[in-house]
Structure formats: structure tokens, C-alpha cells
Chain A
Amino acid sequence: MKFSLPYLLLLPLAIILVLLPTVLSSYSISLITQALIFVLFAMSLDLLVGSLGLPSLGHAAFFGVGAYTAALISLKVTMNFWICLIAGIFSGLIASAIFGLLAIRAGGSSFLMITLALGQVLWGVAYKWRSFTGGDDGLTGIAFPSFGVPWALNRDSYYYIVLIIVSLMCVFLAIIVSSPFGLTLKGIRDSELRMKALGYNVVLYKYSCFILAAAFASVSGVLFVFYNRFVGPSDLGIVLSAKGLLMVILGGVGTLWGPAFGAMVITLMENIFSAVMDRWIMLLGIIYVLVILFFPRGVIGTIKEKARGN
């Protein structure tokens, strides 16, 4: 592997992230914790959109399934974080295995439409099935979980837990994307017919990628629920799904680090602006329009293009 610029930047970035709590207020750290969780969500979506060229508008479904599962387990069964995490991933896998069967044969706009409809149905279930999901009140009173480690952990140390898990997952994702599996996905994105002719089981690869991306999304959902202490229907609806796509596009489709950057920017902006202005929703809409008109290749994508041009 050659050490390109992004990899050289990772070490100082890691050091900065580790040292941040010593400088920043606990409010800022909480914001960054949230941003890190969405970094993982956006990168998981980029595995699907970037590597495979399949734009999903239902990716939040797996984030939400992970979050709801972790919330229900922690409320009703055990407060052990790792059990909640595994259960969350497991339910994300099941949901994506079912959704994938229905959606994966479609391409482009149809895929988008089908994932949107499937995701919204799940949203509807969360919204209507009051006895199980709490309806639009969501699930509240989620306590800080236990981690089964000898140190005493509290809310302030959750930042580190999120940082460690998200970093690990990002490394995983980076490995997957550059592995033979990831390269095959890119081959399918560029020419499905040729890959089929070369003897690749295209549908199986697409299906595996869909499920894999969903598993990472459900990890971010589990992390989110213990951060937020609340999960509601909006955590699996189209608004979050589309926000994920916006993060991916803002950063640059298929660049993996770009979506991470996009997630940081959007999450921080949302928290800062929605606190100080009434018309945040409209501003968010305008941001969508502007990003798509002026940054269609994303920030990282545009920088890469410039670098290649020189």
C-alpha cells in the first residue's frame, strides 16, 4: 500500500482527536461524539453508493433498526453494551438481508425508489406500533450501558468509546474498499455486463455489499442510541437517509474520507444553526440545492480532480 496524503494525515488527526477533551468544553465534545457517529453512518453509505454506484434512500432504516434494537435490549434485557451492540448488528443484518432481496435487482432510480419505500414502511411501523416501539414518543429512559471493563466509565468517557469503535470501523471500511472484494464492486459499478462475462456472481456481490453497508450503519445506530438516550421514528426515516446521501455527496462519492468530512460538516452545522435560527430546515434545503449545483463531485472529489489536473 502506498502512503498517500490522506494516510499521512491520519496520525496527527488521531492525536488531535485523542487530546480534544483536554481542551474543549463537554458540550463541544458531545457535538463531536455525535459527528463521529454520523461519520461512520456516512462512510457505510459510501460503501454502497461509492463502490457500487447504488444510491440508497433507505439507509437510515438500518441505523434505526440498530438503534431500536439496542434500546429495547437495554431497557428490557441487559445493560451490557456489547450484547446490545451485537444484537443491533444482528437485527441490521436481518433487516438488510430481507430488504436486499427485494431491492438489489433494481438499478439506479428504481433502487432509490424501492429503498425509500422500504425504509418508510419501517418508519411507519416504528410510528404506529406504539406498544412495541413507543410510537412517535419513541423509546426514552435509556441508561448509560455497562461495558464489562474494570475501569469506571461515565458519560464523559463515551467520547473515547465512540472514537475507538468508529476508528476501528473506518479502518475496516478502508480495508474492504481496497480489498479484492471492494475492487470487484468497483468493477461491477463501472461495467456490470463485463464483470458478469468474467464469471463474477454480480448479484451476490451486490447483495453482500448491501448487507455489509447495513451492518456498519447499524453499529452507528447503536452508538447513537447510547449517546442520545432516546430513539424515535425520525431516526430511521427518509430525512436521515437523505441527510446521509448529502454527507456523501458533499464530501465526494466513493472517496470514503470525503463522506466522513461531509458528516462532520453537516452534523456540526445542524447543531449550531438549528440552535440559533428558526428557519434551519429551509437553510438545510438550500444547502442541498447549493451542494448539488456547485459541488456535484464533493469537496474531496473536487480537490482530487484539481490535484490530478496539475
Chain B
Amino acid sequence: MDFLILQSLNSISFGMLLFLVASGLSLIFGLMAVVNLAHGSFYLIGAYIALTFIKITGNFGYALAVACLVVPAIGILIERVFLHRLFKNELAQVLLTFGFIFIFQDACLWIWGGVPQSFRSPEILSISVSLGGPLKFPVYRLFVIVIGCLVALGLWFLIERTRLGMVVRAGVDNSEMAQAVGVNVSRLFSVVFALGVLLAALGGVLGGPIIGVYPGVDMEILLFALVVIIIGGQGSLKGAFWGSLVVGVLDNFGKALFPELSLFSIFAPMAMVLAVRPQGLFGAK
């Protein structure tokens, strides 16, 4: 029973972390039809920047702020200078983002080295709470769950209840029509790309104390995020949320129960979804 409760909470906190990354990926894909393969790299850079600033200032909040400013700035640069020129050429856009995986990977290796590193969560959150009896759970993971839910609510509000969200939805449905009625689609793409990258960076900073930072975490996170949006449905916020929870649960229990074949625990459901409902659980046809 204790095993079940602890693993469930772990699953949810990992799922919420995935949601941060996957919702950004899904948002970018939904609007721009670009599979941003460098999404994991933005996670990686966010985590490394936070690592450095925590070493310098010792303050988690500053580090979070810096990462959430710098990484989206890099994202906007890439969107404006490179992706923008390849408008509507999806294969070229995807491969371009793949090129940036290599560039960022090597740059991070150069700057931060290849040794896996980790940083501590903020002081007030570095404690455990009792869940009744001898059962204890780290507060920081609960904090991640809360942040994930808040971001989900915020994104829902942004997309469904604001003018910007309305324009984004119009762009997702039909970007040419949106352009024809006066939406500046080009600027919209930059805004959404930056928002997506911001979410990846946020994931990186919050994920640092849980999974650490090391070369290769970029590809791991990218794979998880891809599976999330394949299961949940491409371009769907709701799909990213439930998909993340599903993948979080499957991965945690898979790792705990069948360590050697843990990836099958996310593969099998993904294959099932693809076979039965190719557009994903919440995807529009």
C-alpha cells in the first residue's frame, strides 16, 4: 500500500514535469506544424543555466527567472532567423531543429562538461511531509505537482479565454484564413514558439532537483514528450495533460516493476492508441 501511494505521487510529479515540456511541444506543433526536435535541448539549457545561477547566487528563484528569460530569447532568435525562412516546409524545419540539437548538445558539453550534475531545490521546499504513519514524501515534488496544475490552468485560460488564445485557436484551425482576416500570423508564430520554449525551460529548471542535468537528458525528455503528444493527441492541451499523467504513471510503475523492459510500459499503450485512435485520445481528426 505504501509502495502504491509513494509510486503514485512520484508518477504524478513526473507526469506534471512532462506536462510542462509536452504542452510547449504540442502548442508549437498545433499551430506551426513543426515538430520542434530541439525542445529537449531547451529543457537542457534551462536546467544548466539554473545550475550555474544557483551556484553563483544560491537562490533558486533568481535562477528560475534567468533561465525563463534567456532560453525563450534563444528560441525567438532561432524562430526569427532560421525557422521563419522555411515557412511551410515542414521536413526542412524539423531537420533544422535537429541540427540545433547537435549544436546545443556540444555547446553544453563544452561549457558544463559531461559529468551528471544536480542542484538542490529551494530551502523551504527541501523537506519531507508525513503522509500518515511512517510514510514521507518530499515537499518539492508536491510543489512540482502544484506548479504543473497551475500552468495547466493558466494555459487553459490563455487559450480559451483571452484574445491571444482566440487568435492562436484561429491559427491552429486555419492559418491562411487567420492571416486573411488580419491576424499577424508571423508574429503569432514567434510568440507561440517563445511560449513553448519557455515551458520547456521551466520544465528543465523544476526537473533539475528531481532528475538532474546530464548530456542525453535532452533526448530522453524529447522522447517522453513525443510519446505524450502521440497518446494525448497532437496540438491538444487537454491531451498533453492527460497524456503526461498516463506516461508518468506507466513509466514510474514500469521502472519499479520491470526495470529491463521499462520502455515497453510506455510503448505498448502508445502502440495501442495508434492502432485504435491514430489521432490520439483528445486529438481532433
Binding site for B on A (CB under 8 A): 49, 55, 57, 101-103, 105-106, 108-110, 112-114, 116-118, 120-121, 124-125, 128-131, 238, 242, 245-246, 249, 279, 281-282, 284-289, 292-293, 296
Contact = CB atoms under 8 A, between A and B. Distances in A.
Given A113-B230, A121-B263, 7 more contacts: A113-B29, A117-B230, A118-B267, A129-B260, A130-B260, A238-B219, A288-B95
B223 interface: yes
A124 B109 CA distance: 22
A128 B89 contact: no
Interface stretch (B46-54, B96-104, B149-157, B197-205): B96-104
A105 B278 contact: yes
B271 A102 contact: yes
26 contacts: A101-B275, A103-B274, A105-B278, A109-B33, A109-B34, A109-B35, A113-B229, A113-B230, A114-B230, A116-B37, A117-B223, A117-B270, A118-B267, A120-B223, A125-B263, A246-B95, A281-B102, A281-B109, A285-B99, A285-B100, A285-B102, A288-B98, A289-B99, A289-B103, A293-B82, A296-B86
Nearest to B107: A282
A101 B266 CA distance: 18
A118 B227 CA distance: 9
Contacts of B109: 281
A114 B274 contact: yes
Contact of A128 (B90, B229, B260, B266): B260
A109 B102 contact: no
B252 interface: no
Given A117-B270, A125-B263, A285-B102, A296 B92 contact: yes
Contacts of A282: 102-103, 106-107, 110
Nearest to B234: A110
A108 B90 contact: yes
Interface string B73-114: 000000000100110011110111011111111110110000
Contacts of B82: 289, 293
B103 A285 contact: yes
Contact of A284 (B85, B92, B102, B271): B102
B262 interface: yes
B226 A292 contact: no
B11 to A, nearest CB: 18
B96 A288 contact: yes
Interface string B256-285: 000111111011001100110010000000
A186 B270 CA distance: 30
Per DSSP, are chain B's interface residues mostly helix, strand or loop, or mixed? helix
A285 B106 contact: yes
A292 B86 contact: yes
A113 B223 contact: no
A-B CB proximity, top 10 nearest: A288-B99, A285-B102, A124-B263, A285-B103, A282-B106, A281-B106, A102-B274, A121-B267, A289-B99, A120-B223
Given A109-B94, A289-B100, A125 B264 contact: yes
A117 B227 contact: yes
Contacts of B227: 117
Nearest to B109: A281
Nearest to A106: B278
A285 B101 contact: yes
A131 B260 contact: yes
B83 to A, nearest CB: 10
A255 to B, nearest CB: 15
A70 to B, nearest CB: 23
A301 to B, nearest CB: 13
Nearest to B271: A102
Interface string B51-70: 00000000000000000000
A166 to B, nearest CB: 25
Contact of B110 (A279, A285, A286): A279
A55 to B, nearest CB: 5
A292 B262 contact: no
Interface string B166-194: 00000000000000000000000000000
Contacts of A238: 219
A293 B85 contact: yes
Contacts of A131: 260
Interface in B236-272: 259-264, 266-267, 270-271
Contacts of A249: 91-92, 95
Contacts of A296: 86, 89, 92
B226 A116 contact: yes
A130 B262 CA distance: 12
A123 to B, nearest CB: 9
Interface in B113-168: none
A273 B109 CA distance: 18
B109 to A, nearest CB: 8
Contact of B263 (A128, A287, A292): A128
A105 to B, nearest CB: 5
A55 B96 CA distance: 14
Given A105-B278, A109-B33, A128-B262, A292 B99 contact: yes
Nearest to B268: A121
Contacts of A293: 82, 85-86, 96
